[in-house]
């Protein structure tokens, strides 16, 4: 098979890129290791920045999101007896959209299918070959046969554990990492969310977050040990621990019910640079990871795809190579700021095992300052709704 852009991974990054390229008349083939059902079974992000919402509209995939997504103008931060609303709308003039990654991925899959796109699921053992030539190739196994895709360019959209990043020469790639000494235990339940907006909680027993997917489906998280055994967390134990960490009113009014999904996510900050080597471009989680506290992972994937789709369109439409040349730098500029914000939010909201009374004092001072200073809230809100794509 011959294509212009070979895309590895059918997560949000790969599917959005393939859809945006299609709208510009650029051909692509997407190779995904898992089945479509498996991809849709992963419960992940829930908060979309305005920039990502605009991209989904531009991609022609926003109809259901515009109908079912929940626009949130603010959220709450709680610590000790304090409960403070951060007014996103007042400080930034914009909002965020609460719409699940699962739904968004489904919308992108449907759009790709409707356009008759080449998306190959259960493509095993994908390998990148001839990266140092003008026609790099992807080979993969499917149904016991080897297949080949000859490409002009390759987009590595295959997440943190994918193969693309590892295809970059070791002498070129620099990796920066921080692993946090805890994880998030999350559940999804068919219950009414405890509040209309998200609630982030710093509690001495550990962080908690009340989120949602709709007005009848809740998503809750609690900080747990990084090596926690999921089997030991019955629904009852989860609800008990969550309620201990929530402010009194919320703990009393929360609707509980059986979990329909329960999982543990490790927390990590990671950046790989550069994000381009020759004809290979990395995008999304393949190049960077943020802890979920700032709700930035999916949104960063979208901004990478914004820069990458513009760069490829510039090349195919006008023969420009400058946008491809500046791709890595442009992405990384925005990524490091989101890394800073996510690291900061994680640091002030979680309980660290080695935390001493000085560390706790600083943490409380950060939260006290944030919740009493308008300029601090304005800066926080600016980062939460997402910095501009520039
Ligand atoms: P994905 O979604 O990991 O997709 C990569 C795809 O590549 C496939 N793949 C391969 N395919 C072919 N060959 C190979 N060798 C392959 N190796 C892997 C995989 O099967 C997969 O389908 O990466 P992508 O597209 O870059 O998207 C990134 C986002 O998924 C991620 O950043 C977010 O989910 C992070 N995140 C959040 N982000 C937000 O912006 N807002 C949030 O509220 C938010 N909440 C979260 C989150 C992530 C979480 N977890 C579980 C880590 C909450 C959680 C709990
Ligand atoms: C979610 O709804 O899954 C979610 C919301 C906000 C975050 C992280 C995850 O900061």
Q: What is the 3-state secondary structure (H, E, C) of 114-158?
A: HCCCEEECCCEEEEEECCCCCCCEEEEEECCEEEEEECCEEEECC
Residue 163's pLDDT is what?
Answer: 98
What is the total count of domains within the chain? 2
The CA-to-CA distance between both ends of the chain, in Å, stands at: 35
Q: Which atom of ligand 2 is found nearest the CA of 294?
A: 10
Residues 260 and 145 in one domain: no
Report d(CA 219, CA 234) in Å as an integer: 16
Residue owning the nearest CA to atom 54 of ligand 1: 44
Same domain (yes/no): 20, 115: yes
Q: What is the pLDDT of residue 228?
A: 95
Alpha-helical segments (H) within 254-372: 297-318, 322-349, 357-372
Comparing CA positions, the residue from 200, 186, 194 lying closest to residue 77 is 200
Catalytic residue list: 72, 200, 292, 296, 384
Atom of ligand 1 nearest to the CA of 283: 26
pLDDT beyond 90 at 161: yes
| Ligand 1 probe mutation, 7, 8, 11, most atoms within 8 A of CB | 11
Domain match, 34 and 157 both: yes
* Pocket lining for ligand 1, CB < 6 angstroms: 8-14, 31-34, 39, 44-47, 101, 123, 126, 157-159, 161-163, 184, 186, 265, 284-285, 292, 295-299, 301
| In the predicted structure, residue 390 carries a pLDDT above the cut 90 | no
Summarised one tens digit per residue, pLDDT across range 272-314 is 999 999 999 999 999 999 999 999 999 999 999 999 999 999 9
Confidence at residue 50, expressed as pLDDT on a 0 to 100 scale: 96
339: CATH: 3.50.50.60
Say if residues 233 and 157 touch (Cβ distance below 8 Å).
Answer: no
Domain ends where: 265, 281, 312?
265
Query: What is the CATH number for 225?
Result: 3.30.9.10
Considering the domain boundaries, does residue 357 fall inside one?
Answer: no
Quick one: 195 and 337 in the same domain? no
Task: Tell me: pLDDT of 43 over 90.
Answer: no
DSSP 8-state secondary structure symbol assigned to residue 97: E
The closest of 104, 100, 96, 95 to 59, measured between CA atoms, is 104
Q: Which ligand is nearest the CA of 13, by number?
A: 1
Residue 151 lies in a domain: yes
366 domain residue, yes or no: no
Which pLDDT tens digit goes with each residue over 125-140?
Answer: 999 999 999 999 999 9
Q: Residue with the nearest Cα to atom 2 of ligand 2?
A: 46
| Among 265, 294, 321, residue at a domain's last position | 265
Task: Work out the mean pLDDT of the chain and round it to a whole number.
Answer: 97
Report if pTM > 0.85.
Answer: yes
Per the domain annotation, does 64 fall within a domain? yes
Percent of the chain with pLDDT over 90: 98
Do 272 and 258 lie in one domain? The reply is no
pLDDT of residue 358: 96
Instruction: Say if 257 falls within a structural domain.
Output: yes
Q: How confident is the model at residue 196 (pLDDT cuts 50, 70, 90)?
A: very high
Q: What CA–CA distance (Å, rounded) separates 263 from 279?
A: 37
Give the tens place of pLDDT for each residue, 197-225.
Answer: 999 999 999 999 999 999 999 999 999 99
Instruction: Give the phi and the psi of residue 364 in degrees, each rounded to 5.
Output: -65, -35
CA 295 / ligand 2 centre spacing (Å):
5
Q: Looking at the domain assignment, is residue 152 inside a domain?
A: yes
Query: Which atom of ligand 2 is nearest to 44's Cα?
Result: 3
State whether 119 and 216 are in the same domain: no
My answer on whether 274 and 341 are in the same domain is yes
Considering the domain architecture, whether residues 150 and 288 belong to the same structural domain is answered as yes
65 falls in which pLDDT band (50, 70, 90)?
Answer: very high
Q: What is the pLDDT of residue 20?
A: 98
> Is residue 207 assigned to a domain?
yes
- Supply the range of the domain harboring residue 31: 5-50+58-70+100-176+267-352
- Identify the CA nearest to 5 among candidates 37, 25, 190, 192: 25
Cα 386 from Cα 155, distance rounded (Å): 24
* 197 and 341 housed in the same domain: no
Name the region of 160 (left: φ>0; alpha: ψ -120 to 50; beta: rest): alpha
């Amino acid at each position: 098979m011959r294509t212009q852009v070979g895309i590895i991974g059918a997560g949000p990054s790969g599917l959005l890129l393939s859809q945006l390229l299609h709208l510009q008349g650029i051909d692509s083939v997407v190779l995904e290791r898992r089945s479509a059902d498996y991809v849709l079974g992963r419960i992940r992000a829930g908060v979309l920045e305005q920039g990502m919402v605009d991209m989904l509209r531009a991609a022609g995939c926003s109809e259901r999101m515009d109908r079912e997504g929940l626009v949130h103008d603010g959220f709450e931060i709680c610590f000790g007896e304090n409960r403070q609303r951060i007014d996103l709308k007042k400080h930034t003039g914009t909002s965020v959209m609460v719409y699940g990654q699962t739904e968004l991925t489904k919308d992108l899959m449907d759009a790709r299918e409707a356009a008759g796109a080449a998306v190959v699921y259960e493509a095993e053992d994908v390998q990148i070959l001839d990266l140092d030539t003008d026609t790099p190739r992807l080979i993969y196994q499917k149904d016991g046969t080897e297949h080949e895709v000859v490409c002009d360019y390759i987009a590595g959209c295959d997440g943190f554990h994918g193969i693309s990043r590892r295809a970059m020469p070791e002498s070129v790639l620099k990796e920066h990492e921080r692993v946090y000494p805890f994880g998030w235990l999350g559940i999804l339940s068919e219950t009414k969310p405890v509040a209309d907006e998200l609630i982030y909680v710093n509690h001495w027993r550990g962080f908690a977050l009340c989120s949602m997917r709709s007005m009848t489906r809740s998503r809750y998280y609690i900080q747990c040990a990084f090596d926690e055994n999921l089997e030991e967390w019955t629904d009852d134990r989860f609800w008990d621990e969550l309620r201990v960490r929530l402010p009194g009113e919320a703990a009393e009014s929360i609707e509980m019910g059986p979990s329909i999904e329960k999982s543990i996510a490790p927390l990590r900050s990671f950046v790989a640079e550069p994000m381009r080597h020759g004809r290979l471009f990395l995008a999304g989680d393949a190049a960077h990871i943020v802890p979920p506290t700032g709700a930035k992972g999916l949104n960063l994937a979208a901004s990478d795809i914004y820069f990458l789709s513009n760069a490829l369109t510039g090349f195919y439409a006008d023969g420009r190579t400058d946008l491809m040349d500046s791709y890595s730098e442009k992405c990384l500029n925005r990524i490091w700021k989101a890394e800073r914000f996510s690291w900061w939010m994680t640091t002030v909201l979680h309980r660290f095992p080695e935390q001493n009374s000085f560390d706790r004092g600083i943490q409380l001072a950060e939260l006290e300052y944030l919740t009493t200073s308008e300029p601090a809230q304005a800066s926080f809100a600016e980062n939460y709704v997402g910095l501009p794509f520039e």
